């Protein structure tokens, strides 16, 4: 059966714009990977009448209804009670969950449990209980009127954990076949161009399927197969994945990797190489993203942020005369930054990033979005020039992305555009 789902986020704070509805994103991604179509996202405030109205609408158009939020201990946390009533379910007090709530508070010095915390132990009779590994409010699921109803906590950390331990196992049992996917990550080609190149494949395929997605500064396509086993799904996807690689070429930076920096991290480890960054316009963003990865110390001895011309001269030893002649934002300075940080930190590869993030042009007249990336290694040195017509934050993100891609291409022996010195 092909199930359809609706996600109902309960929380007045979402409607007021105080918080972002990240739960809906996380649930949607999980359902997509399970092959379940999400047709509607609804947000409703902490009001039982409006929640009931939203549920009544969802009952008419979805096989699976998933709510997030409203499971806590306060007076307006009424999601479970409202949904139980909507489906004619009685409630019961779950002593096991109550004991877990008591134990949680007993283990938290300085925190006292109040009677309303035990409100969270009331659950619909006959439901499947989802344990909360990160908080006190359990989630639950039940089937009624031909609909599957799942209720999850609102705090993103709790919701994500419960998706993994509760939602996925519960919904997987509903599927007659297994769903398996590969995420093909692309940098250096926009979503529209990628989709145009793969359009015929995307429209012709039925199982497996191929779908495009836009990401921050990059693109992705997801290859998904429905089969009786993982082995069968992989066999179905293998020729399609090979064909996608043939069509897109080296703009594919990885399959089933999370980010450009992760792909670079893996390539550095495989090559036994280290890299150091000298950053100007990115303000340490590239270094931050690499060191977000566990084990980054194996490939990253350090980085230096030299935002001003004086810092470039003092910390990297760049000749002020070169900066004066060529400008801080230039191919020559980017390369000197890469050389210097490589030598000073003893890395195998140095990367220099300098550019104009905005809001104004620099003293040499370089427009906002002008970025130079230098690379220095024992066997090769180069500088690449980029022009990005976008806002300040995106210039910084894209500068870091292009730095990682330059490094990826160097490590993989891939072609680089002929705009280097």
pLDDT, tens digit, 9 for 90 and up, residues 245-275: 999 999 999 999 999 999 999 999 999 999 9
Report residue 88: phi and psi, to 5°.
70, 30
Query: Is pLDDT above 60 for 86?
Result: yes
pLDDT, tens digit, 9 for 90 and up, residues 202-221: 999 999 999 998 888 899 99
Tokens found for residue 19: 């918080």
Query: Is pLDDT above 70 for 420?
Result: no
CA atoms within 13 A on the CB side of 400: 21
Q: How confident is the model at residue 357 (pLDDT cuts 50, 70, 90)?
A: very high
Cβ–Cβ under 8 Å, residues 70 and 119: no
Query: Is pLDDT above 80 for 39?
Result: yes
Better-scored residue on pLDDT, 40 or 78: 40
Percent residues over pLDDT 90 in the chain? 81
Query: Is pLDDT above 60 for 418?
Result: no
- The yes or no reply on domain 260-412 and CATH 3.90.950.20 is yes
Percent residues over pLDDT 70 in the chain? 98
pTM of the model: 0.79
pLDDT at 417 (0 to 100): 64
Beta-strand relationship, 218-227 and 209-215: antiparallel
pLDDT at 114 (0 to 100): 84
Return the domain boundaries, the chain.
4-172, 178-255, 260-412
pLDDT, tens digit, 9 for 90 and up, residues 44-57: 999 999 999 999 99
Query: Is pLDDT above 90 for 361?
Result: no
Class in CATH terms, 4-172: alpha beta
Cβ–Cβ under 8 Å, residues 374 and 299: no
- The correct CATH number of 178-255 out of 3.90.1300.10, 3.30.360.10, 3.30.310.50, 3.30.70.2860 is 3.30.70.2860
Q: What does the H/E/C string look like for the chain?
A: CCCEEEEEEECHHHHCCCCCCHHHHHHHHHHHHCCCEEEEEEEECCCHHHHHHHHHHHHCCCCEEEEECCCCCCCCCCHHHHHHHHCCCCEEECHHHHHHHHHHHHCCCCCCCCHHHHHHHEEECCCEEECCCCCCCCEEEEEECCEEEEEECCCHHHHHHHHHHHHHHHHHCCCCCEEEEEEEEECCCCHHHHHHHHHHHHHHCCCCEEEEEEECCEEEEEEEEEECCHHHHHHHHHHHHHHHHHHHHHHEEEECCCCHHHHHHHHHHHHCCCEEEEECCCCCHHHHHHHCCCCHHHCCCEEEECCCHHHHHHHHCCCHHHHHHHCCCCHHHHHHHHHHHHHHHCCCEEEEEEECCCCCCCCCCCCCCEEEEEEEECCCEEEEEEECCCCHHHHHHHHHHHHHHHHHHHHHCCCCCCCCC
């Amino acid at each position: 059966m092909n199930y359809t789902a609706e996600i109902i986020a309960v929380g007045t704070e979402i409607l007021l714009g105080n918080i972002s509805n990240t739960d809906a994103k996380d649930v949607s991604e999980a359902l997509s990977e399970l092959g379940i179509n999400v047709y509607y996202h609804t947000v409703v405030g902490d009001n039982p009448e409006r929640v009931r109205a939203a549920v009544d609408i969802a009952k008419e158009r979805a096989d699976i209804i998933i709510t997030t939020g409203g499971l806590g201990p306060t007076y307006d946390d009424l999601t479970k009670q409202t949904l139980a009533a909507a489906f004619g379910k009685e409630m019961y007090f779950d002593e096991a969950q109550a004991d877990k709530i008591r134990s949680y508070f007993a283990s938290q010095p300085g925190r006292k449990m109040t009677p309303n915390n035990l409100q969270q132990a009331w659950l619909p009779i006959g439901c499947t209980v989802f344990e909360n590994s990160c908080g006190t409010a359990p989630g639950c699921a039940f089937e009624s009127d031909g609909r599957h109803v799942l209720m999850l906590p609102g705090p993103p950390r709790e919701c994500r954990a419960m998706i993994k331990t509760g939602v996925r196992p519960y919904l997987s049992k509903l599927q007659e076949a297994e769903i398996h996917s590969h995420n093909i990550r692309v940098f250096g080609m926009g979503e529209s161009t990628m989709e145009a190149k793969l359009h015929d494949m995307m429209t012709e395929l039925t199982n497996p399927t191929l779908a495009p997605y836009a990401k921050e500064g990059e693109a992705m396509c997801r290859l998904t197969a429905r089969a009786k086993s993982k082995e069968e799904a992989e066999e179905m996807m293998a020729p399609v994945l090979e064909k996608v690689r043939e069509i897109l070429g080296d703009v594919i930076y990885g399959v089933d990797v999370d980010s450009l920096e992760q792909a670079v991290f893996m390539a550095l480890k495989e090559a036994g190489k280290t890299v150091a960054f000298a950053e100007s316009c990115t303000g340490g963003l590239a270094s931050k993203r690499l060191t977000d990865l566990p084990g980054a110390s194996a490939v990253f001895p350090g980085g230096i942020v030299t935002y001003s011309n004086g810092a470039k001269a003092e910390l990297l030893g760049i000749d002020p005369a070169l900066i004066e002649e060529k400008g801080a934002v230039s191919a020559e300075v980017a390369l000197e930054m890469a050389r210097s940080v490589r030598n000073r930190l003893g890395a195998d590869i140095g990367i220099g990033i300098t550019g104009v993030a905005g809001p104004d042009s620099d003293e040499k007249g370089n427009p906002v979005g002008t970025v130079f990336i230098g690379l220095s290694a024992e066997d090769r040195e180069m500088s690449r020039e980029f022009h990005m017509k976008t806002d300040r934050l995106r210039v910084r993100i894209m500068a870091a992305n292009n730095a990682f891609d330059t490094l990826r291409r160097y490590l993989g022996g891939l072609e680089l555009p002929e705009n280097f010195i």
